[in-house]
Amino acid sequence: MNVFNEFKKIVNVEIEDMVASGDLPSGLDLSRIAVEPPRDPSHGDLSTNAAMVLAKPAGRKPRDIADLLAARLATRDEVMGAEVAGPGFVNLRLASSVWYARLAEALRAGPAYGDSALGVGKRVNVEYVSANPTGPLHVGHARGAVVGDALAALLEKAGYAVDREYYINDAGAQVDQLAASAFLRYLEALGEPATDETFARFCPGQEWAYRGDYLVPVGQALAAAEGERLRDLAPEDWLPPVRAFAIAAMMDLIREDLDSLGIRHALFSSERALVEAGRVDEALADLEVRGFVYTGVLEPPKGKAPEDWEPRPQTLFRSTEFGDDVDRPLKKSDGSWTYFASDIAYHFDKYKRGFADMIDVWGADHGGYVKRMKAAVQAITGGEGALDVKLCQMVNLLEDGQPAKMSKRAGTFVTLREVVDRVGKDVVRFMMVTRKNDAQLDFDLIKVTEQSLENPVFYVQYGHARAHSALRNAAETFPDLDSGREALAEADLGGLTDPDELGLIKLIAGWPRQVELAAEAHEPHRLAFYLGDLVSAFHSLWSRGNKETDLRFILPEDPSLTAARLALVRGVALVIASGLAVFGVEPVEEMR
């Protein structure tokens, strides 16, 4: 159980008793009472703001309420000391028995430790990756893929019902360019040279946008399936079947790339299918009925004009009513819907499927799109929906400090698959959450595989491997000692009295709170930071044991204390494994 939530309930009980005894008036709102770690750990284990949030409605001075509350809490068996600090904080020092109970609880829970009912089964749609189906995924996509997948797993651990979704942008000009590029490779398979001249002859008015070798097998497969049938057709006749063929081939490639990273989406939604089913018309008609669509001329913006501004009457969405800077166009000059209109329809479709809570993981280059999309979600859901957009900054791919070389296969970028093949799935996944999603990330292909304490991947995995090394060594020293987590949960933990031992237990006890805080903030990187702190404390205690023999985890002359310390070691290992599971990383028991 979250020890902070547990003590919030205790504080609330004491407040209710103060009301019953006449020390406080009835009808107080206790929802804003918080129990958290104090900013300065030297002030205690927990701190509550109860006196300050109740002072005004109770008509009492915060310090007066704090003094009464502290006196009550100090009488409880779980509390060693209660002090009033600052304007009215009550700081608590808890009895060691509280922390021993939390360690035993963690051992009994095993992999489920940290699971929370915070989400109460609420449905959340997490959409991530959603790369254009025009080629293999590159290393930049890897970050959004991992952040989205880790966030989905984090929300599931916190008790939400999560759907993982991929939106296929298969209705824009870029897929027509893909089709033309694939058609050239089809001609190449039939004996034509893959040159600019050939492209211009067979694909007039198009751009040879995708020149990577990854389209060569697509052209060969198309030639095997169609023979020369498509060769002499007009572009308007070969475009639809080639486009469909190329998109299907690219999505197969993307799924394989994602699978190499251990990522699987529950649903792939097609923009083209949405448009052809009339969902855009339906969504925009709904907005028009609500008064959020009108015909008007946008004022020319100050400074540089945005790409979607034109000095003409346009069909516009009233996004300024929901906090956006300007109203946004819904139709292009040729009468077709804008990308924004399709995105509105897509999010309306999500809402109708039962997802009031939506999270989109985008690249940082889409930052200017966030306000309008949030405005649209507010409009199409009548204020019932919420959209959180997580923007992922660039990944600087390096090789021993220097920019990594480009991919010959892709033509212009380093593919995700190349990186996974080079350093492994788990390294990629862990590294992508070692910084907040909106901060740039340096990914050095050499450094991320070094067995160095400067390498965060190795550092955390080494902590898990060290813990299991201690458990294996204990089995040799005490062959009859059961070091399973259930047995160790029953050990006498009273011998764990060193401040570093208690500090490590407190970190373990803080894991459920970290899960809930990270889930509420939609920030899985917080767990990576926490694991770093946990492993650092464990390595520090291990190092002390190398110098101070009485602090070693295995004491041949003291099986009881050894069992207590192995309980601590096992607790560290299971929390590391629990955290890595959120990231989709397999914990190692031995370093090679």
Whole-angstrom Cα distance, residue 417 to residue 421?
6
Contact 181, 468 (CB under 8 A): no
Cα 450 to Cα 261, 421, 446, 549, 591, distances in angstroms: 20, 16, 7, 30, 12
420, part of any domain: no
CB atoms near residue 364 (< 10 Å) = 15
Q: Is residue 541 part of a domain?
A: yes
Q: Which residues pair with 47 in a beta bridge?
A: 36, 91
CA torsion through residues 83, 499, 116, 167, sign: positive
Return the pLDDT at 376: 98
One digit per residue, the tens of pLDDT, for the chain of length 592 reads 689 999 999 999 999 999 999 999 999 999 999 999 998 989 999 999 999 999 999 999 999 999 999 999 999 999 999 999 999 999 999 999 999 999 999 999 999 999 999 999 999 999 999 999 999 999 999 999 999 999 999 999 999 999 999 999 999 899 999 999 999 999 999 999 999 999 999 999 999 999 999 999 999 999 999 999 999 999 999 999 999 999 999 999 999 999 999 999 999 999 999 999 999 999 999 999 999 999 999 887 666 555 656 678 999 999 999 999 999 999 988 888 999 999 999 999 999 999 999 999 999 999 999 999 999 999 999 999 999 999 999 999 999 999 887 554 556 678 999 999 999 999 999 999 999 999 999 999 999 999 998 899 999 999 999 999 999 999 999 999 999 999 999 999 999 999 999 999 999 999 999 999 999 999 999 999 999 999 999 999 999 999 999 999 999 999 999 999 999 999 999 999 999 999 999 999 998 7
> Residue 411 falls within a domain, yes or no?
no
CATH number at residue 25: 3.30.1360.70
Q: Encode 506-534: b = buried (16+ Cβ within 10 Å), e = exposed.
A: bbbbbbbbbbbbbbeebbbbbbbbbbeeb
Residue that is last in its domain, among 54, 78, 94 = 94
Give the Cα separation of 442 and 459 in Å (integer). 17
CATH number, domain with residue 477: 1.10.730.10
- 559 and 469 together in one domain: yes
The amino acid that residue 70 corresponds to is: A
Give the distance from CA 52 to its chain's centroid.
34
Assess if residue 21 is contained within a domain: yes
Number of domains in the chain: 3
**Taking a C-beta distance cutoff of 8 angstroms, is the pair 344, 283 a contact?**
yes
How confident is the model at residue 335, as a pLDDT? 87
Give the integer Cα–Cα distance in Å for 474 and 491: 15
Range of the domain at 196: 173-243
- Whether 330 is covered by a domain: the verdict is no
For Cα atoms 570, 573, 574, give the angle at the middle one, nearest 5 degrees.
90
Q: Do 177 and 68 belong to one domain?
A: no
pLDDT of residue 306: 58
Q: Write down the pLDDT at residue 410.
A: 53
Tokens 């600087």 sit on residue: 396
461 & 554 share domain: yes
Residues 86 and 191 in one domain: no
Residue 509, domain member (yes or no) = yes
Task: Give the Cβ contact number of residue 296 at 10 Å.
Answer: 12
Contact at 8 Å (CB) between 485 and 572?
A: no
Q: Contact 344/287 with Cβ under 8 angstroms?
A: yes
pLDDT at residue 406, as a whole number = 57
Last residue of some domain: 243, 276, 298? 243
For residue 301, what pLDDT is reported?
66
Q: What is the pLDDT of residue 247?
A: 98
> Is 556 a domain residue?
yes
Residue 2: the pLDDT is 87
The pLDDT score that the predictor gives to residue 411 is 60
In angstroms, the Cα distances linking 264 to 128, 176, 563 are: 11, 27, 41
Q: Which residue pairs from 450-456 have beta carbons closer than 8 angstroms and sit at least 24 positions apart in sequence?
A: 451/591, 453/539, 456/430, 456/431, 456/528, 456/532
Identify the domain boundary among 220, 243, 266. Answer: 243
Find, among 569, 145, 76, the residue nearest to 395 by Cα.
145
Two tokens at 272? Answer: 């083209």
Cα dihedral: 284, 285, 286, 292 (round 10):
70
Q: Which residue do the tokens 């309008």 mark?
A: 372
pLDDT confidence of residue 312 = 83
Shared domain for 467 and 577, answered yes or no, is: yes
**Residue at 575 is within a domain:** yes
Is residue 410 exposed (0-12), middle (13-18) or buried (19+ Cβ within 10 Å)?
buried
- Quick one: 185 and 88 in the same domain? no
